Amino acid sequence: MPGDKKIPKEYALKRADELKESIKDYLAFSKTVRTGFTEWEKIKKRQEKIRSIYGVSENKWRDWRWQIKNRIQDIDTVSRLLELSSSKLEEISLVGSKFRWGLVPYYLSLIDPEEMEKHPVFLQSIPSIQEYEDEHGVLDPMFEEFTSPAPAVTRRYPDRLIINVTNQCASYCRHCQRRRNIGEVDRHTSRDSLKAALQYIADNEEIRDVLLTGGDSLMLSDKTLDWILTELEQIPHVEMKRLGTRVPVTLPYRITPELCEVLNRHLPLYINTHFNHPIEITPDARDACFALARCGINLGNQAVLLRGINNHPFLMRKLNQELLKIMVRPYYIFHAKGVKGTSHFRTRVEEGIEIMEKLRGYTSGLAIPTYIVNAPRGYGKTPMLAEYLVSMGANKLLIRTWENRILEYDNVNYDEDITL
């Protein structure tokens, strides 16, 4: 309708009804999705049971060092905590001979025994025979070994780089892109290697953005984190620091007041975490994220598109909306990389594009991340975008809206001498 005419109220009411109808299917689906909040009472009961097996108090349970010390990574322990068949235990043992596995008790407590081997946390944490039998993929699809100009450094872009500060995680994801580095022993990067990485940054003035990752950067001690961040701040051209961590998801108790005090001293500081499913968004995860937000840290999420876990348009929409409620901005959805042992998680790119189509217009722009495919041979992140520009003429565009309406759009600078 022309913009200068008065539009009858009936039009607005009809349009509102159309919009309401367009979201009915999502609302019905959303009510069936279990989150860490809707399941919290059940999760707390499972935590009580696990604490009784270990014989620890709730205070001890919330000590992140206790959680790491008691990481579940052997057949005897996992069989005490989960009712697994003998064939599944044999499977875990076989896969464990090839790829490391482990999860802290908190993260295991999210697993619902009634749906055990279909549960999103179980699938992300407990080895599957598919890993062992996988004949596809490579150990280093990102070519990180070939993009490391200095110890512990990965550089794929002009103005930023990664320092790999540790191989340790609270829990080891079955889809991990760096499983080749995990090994069987937790090992932080040596001080000499960190100094060499810092020197490389100091010698290259175009580096303005540094990401600390690993492994999980928050597995470092508060003292070591403080030292690295302080050293980066002594380099004049470093403008911002970022931390890659999954502890708000798998071990929220790591976000202590002492850690927040350290991090608050080093603003601007950004944290990207890794929620993949709404069941991971619990009250404890919320408290961890709120604590980080209160000390001035901007939080983003990097989900991975995983078959059988989150490859559904409505589920991903629900995840992103739940993330905003805990102060985490959806940043990326990564297409699963071709890492050896992880082929069973991979989807087709079309699924990711369909997810993006069901986000744009249907939810807040804050809830819309960028869908990313990592280019082969370490050539970086490449966005996969739905086409909204249909065609372009001299002064007109044809655009496709989020509802698949094809509309004409003026593409004119009216200060120019143009004959329409």
Write down the number of H helices and E strands in the chain: 18, 12
Tokens 């696990």 found at: 50
| CA distance linking residue 180 with residue 199, whole number of Å | 26
Asked if residue 151 has pLDDT above 80, the reply is: yes
| CA distance linking residue 364 with residue 246, whole number of Å | 25
Tell me how long the chain is. 420
Q: Give me the pLDDT at residue 416, please.
A: 58
Question: At residue 257, what are phi and psi to the nearest 5 degrees?
Answer: -60, -35
| CA distance linking residue 249 with residue 353, whole number of Å | 26
Across the chain, mean pLDDT equals: 94
In the structure, what pLDDT confidence band is assigned to residue 145 with cuts at 50, 70 and 90? Answer: confident
Does 215 sit behind a cis peptide bond, omega within 30 degrees of 0 on the bond before it?
A: yes
What letter represents residue 255's amino acid?
I
Sequence-separated (6 or more) residues with CB below 8 Å from residue 50 = 81, 105, 108, 109
Contact 228, 165 (CB under 8 A): yes
Q: Give me the pLDDT at residue 415, please.
A: 64
Output Rg (C-alpha) for the chain, integer angstroms: 24
Mean pLDDT for 346-355 is 96
Asked if residue 414 has pLDDT above 80, the reply is: no
Mean pLDDT for 260-276 is 98
Long-range contact pairs involving 54-57 (C-beta distance under 8 Å, separation at least 24): 54/105
| CA distance linking residue 267 with residue 215, whole number of Å | 23
Q: Tell me what percent of the residues of the chain surpass a pLDDT of 90.
A: 83
Report which of residues 117 and 234 the model is more confident about: 234
Q: Which of 135-149, 190-204, 253-267, 311-325 has the lowest mean pLDDT?
A: 135-149
Q: Give me the pLDDT at residue 420, please.
A: 45
Reported as a single tens digit per residue, the pLDDT across 47-74 is 999 999 999 999 999 999 999 999 999 9
Mean pLDDT for 19-28 is 96
Q: Which of 178-187, 313-322, 355-364 has the lowest mean pLDDT?
A: 178-187
pTM for the full predicted model: 0.93
Q: Give me the pLDDT at residue 3, please.
A: 55
Q: Which of 33-42, 156-165, 388-397 has the lowest mean pLDDT?
A: 388-397
| CA distance linking residue 23 with residue 29, whole number of Å | 10
Other beta carbons within 10 Å of 271: 25
Contact 125, 73 (CB under 8 A): no
| CA distance linking residue 197 with residue 244, whole number of Å | 17
Q: Tell me what percent of the residues of the chain surpass a pLDDT of 70.
A: 97
Q: Where are the domains of the chain?
A: 24-386, 387-420
Q: HSE of 55 in the Cβ direction (CA atoms, 13 Å)?
A: 0
Q: Quick check: helix, strand or coil at residue 409?
A: strand
Reported as a single tens digit per residue, the pLDDT across 362-391 is 999 999 999 999 888 888 899 999 899 999
Q: Give me the pLDDT at residue 316, please.
A: 98
Asked if residue 93 has pLDDT above 50, the reply is: yes
| CA distance linking residue 197 with residue 151, whole number of Å | 6
- Structure token digits, residue 332: 């990326």
Contact 282, 46 (CB under 8 A): no
Q: Give me the pLDDT at residue 4, please.
A: 59
Q: Give me the pLDDT at residue 394, please.
A: 85
Asked if residue 419 has pLDDT above 70, the reply is: no
DSSP states along 104-166 = -HHHHTT--TTTGGG-HHHHHHS--HHHHH----BS-TT-GGGS-SSTTEE--SSSEEEEE-B
Mean pLDDT for 25-30 is 98
Asked if residue 221 has pLDDT above 70, the reply is: yes
Q: Quick check: helix, strand or coil at residue 172?
A: coil
Q: Quick check: helix, strand or coil at residue 302?
A: strand
* Fold entry, domain 24-386: TIM Barrel (3.20.20)
Q: Give me the pLDDT at residue 164, please.
A: 96
| CA distance linking residue 328 with residue 356, whole number of Å | 18
Instruction: Please report which residue ranges of 265-412 form alpha helices under DSSP H.
Output: 283-294, 313-325, 349-357
| CA distance linking residue 244 with residue 290, whole number of Å | 17
**Which residues on neighbouring strands pair with residue 148, listed in sequence order?**
none
Q: Give me the pLDDT at residue 65, please.
A: 98
| CA distance linking residue 369 with residue 359, whole number of Å | 9
